[in-house]
Amino acid sequence: MKKFISLALCVLMLFSAFSVCSVAADKTFSALSVKATDVVDGKVTYNIYLEPNVHVNGAIVFVEYDEKVLEPILPETYSYTDKKTNETYTYPGCANGGAFVNVDEYGDSTVNIGGLYAGGKVHFKSNVISVGYTNENGYKSSARKGMFTVDFKVIDTDRPVTKVAFKIVEFQGADEELNVTHNTDTPATFKTISTDTFEKTIITGVTPTAKGMQVNWKATEGADYYNFYKKTASGWAVTRLSADETSYIDTTAQNGVKETYAVRAFKNDGRSFKTYNKITGLYVAPPAKVTTANSGDGVKVSWSAVSGADSYRVFKRVTNADGSKTSWMYLVKNTTAKSYVDTNVANDVKYEYLVRANMDGVYSANSVASAIYHYDAPTVKIASAKGGAKVTWNVIDGAETYKIYRRNNGASAWTLLKTVNADTLSYLDAAATSGKKLDYTVRAFSSKGSSNYIAKTINYVATPKLTSLANGTSGATLKWSAVKGATTYRVYRKVVGAKSWTALADVKTTSYVDKTAKSGTKYAYTVKAFNGKVASGYDSTGLTLKYLVMPKITKLTNTTAGINIKWSATTGASTGYKVYRKAPGETSWKLLGTVKTTSYTDKKVANGKTYKYTIRAVDGSNLSAYNSTGTSIKRVK
């Protein structure tokens, strides 16, 4: 919607009360020129000039403007004091002098205020002289000064561009015969200006981004392009941008440096406001690198340092089972460290992490996010077992395979021993070297990622190999092979059929005689090797034996039938006893016979010769020990 105001221009003729304007009827009349200022503090001013050598008492100037954008700023009254008479005149308010009349439609409007310069109060400033005119004596002034001003308030900053047209509706001269059209229905346009007025471009923010400092501003309606300015040591660096752009990223911004920027709107002919919005912001670069790694039962987030940063802020988000993602959430609000372990994690779940640096209260843009599927490191247990070092571990959800590794303690490189499927949770390292300090670990793997690992160390001691178990002369005698690295051995016994083993003794030798064994009882024996407190595995079956105590010869007697041998009974000798003899000159024992009694008569003996006898208890194939020296007797009839 257009709105109109009319202004009266009145000029006092200093040299005569009546003068004739020297404007020919056929001359193109161009009495006015208008110049607009920039929008400053929400206000735009139009300076109206009377052209030189124009004689004018007054004129009604018609101003057309858009009331949605502009609102005239006018005083209620205007006072003028004549310096010659010291009389003060007060007139209806107008823009810095002249009468003001609102008109809804064109009509006869005669405004002729005598004694008032068109320049109004501006005229009386010491640096302003009389406006130009022509008097009857031919005097011509060359001055061209601001006659008066029209001020407008810009009431809609979202529509800052408007066209303001100035037209003369009626001209008042000393001689009413001036050939100037008084047709107010179609006013003559003597000087029409189309002035584009811009609100100064407002910068709405300056924000550090990953690529540089981003400056945003409010779009300026009517702008053909923008100039983006950056303050440098040598002046302002300028970048031209299209009218469609309302942001710019300064990729040359330096971390830790306060950068100053400005933006100005332009028309294609180069016109713009002289004033502009300026803003300064500290640029903080994001951490250049963020890494994630599974660490035990957590995720370790690490990032590169940002020079000058006071602290860092860490964010996290989770990918749900259905593929949706949570919003970013604070993991750590402020930390001066360069890493953090997130223990609030679950197996086979995807997590993402990013970091922002803080400097003097200004936060950088987000770093590039780092993603990882978490898997706990398997909890490893190692024990010396029969046949090797036994490695066991717990189930890790989402694992598809496990890899078992070994290294000599203190070494840096791991050796992959085997890859097993997800159903396998143990491994026997038969190649482990007894007496060595060994490290073992296990890692869980899937197609999405892998766990970290936790090393476990063992002083590996091989399981002793049981070599023999026999009835001895004084008890059950167990023997085994020596184990490298073993400092002691522990002997265990149990009655066959019992569940638990009983430790009998710790020995440094590789054999042991169980003197507490009871004849006729079936026992199992096994052994563990020890290196300090570290135990080897053991043969869980062990060696079994029904213990038979060695029979002792109680009496040798010469009888008429031969030599009679008597011995003690042995519990468990279900088969009986074997009687052995060694005649003079013989080096080995000769079996005489097997009997169920505890006596035997050797009838095949020669008088005067000395014989040796020994006895073994028998239970099937199980034989007791025997007296290898034997008991001697001389045959006497």
Mark the ranges of the chain whose per-residue pLDDT is less than 50: 1, 4-29, 53, 55-58, 93-146, 169-196
User: Does CATH place domain 553-634 in 2.60.40.10?
Assistant: yes
589: left (phi over 0), alpha (psi -120 to 50) or beta: beta
Other Cβ atoms closer than 10 A to 275 = 16
> pLDDT tens digits for 474-487?
999 999 999 999 99
Reduced to 3 states, what is the DSSP secondary structure of residue 572?
Answer: coil
In the numeric block, which tokens belong to residue 356? 């922002």
Dihedral angle over CA of 479, 480, 485, 487, nearest 10: -20
pLDDT of residue 190: 33
Match domain 203-282 to its CATH number in 3.40.50.1820, 3.40.640.10, 2.60.40.10, 3.60.70.12.
2.60.40.10
Vertex 548 angle, CA 547 and 553, to 5°: 160
In the numeric block, which tokens belong to residue 420? 């097993």
Every domain of the chain with CATH number 2.60.40.10 lies at 203-282, 290-374, 380-459, 466-546, 553-634
For residues 313 and 322, is the Cβ–Cβ distance under 8 A? no
Q: Which of 202, 278, 450, 248 is nearest to 347 (CA)?
A: 450
Rounded distance between C-alpha atoms, residue 49 and residue 117, angstroms: 13
**Residue corresponding to tokens 């005067």:** 608
Q: State the pTM of this model.
A: 0.60
CATH of segment(s) 466-546: 2.60.40.10
Dihedral angle over CA of 412, 418, 424, 428, nearest 10: -80
User: Does CATH place domain 380-459 in 3.30.2420.10?
Assistant: no
pLDDT of residue 73: 73
Reduced to 3 states, what is the DSSP secondary structure of residue 464?
Answer: coil
pLDDT of residue 479: 98
Give me the numbers of helices (H) and strands (E) for the chain, helices first please: 1, 48
pLDDT of residue 133: 34
CATH architecture of 290-374: Sandwich (2.60)
If you ran DSSP here, which 8-state letter would residue 123 be given? H
pLDDT of residue 195: 44
In the numeric block, which tokens belong to residue 527? 């052994």
> pLDDT tens digits for 573-625?
999 999 999 999 999 999 999 999 999 999 999 999 999 999 999 999 999 99
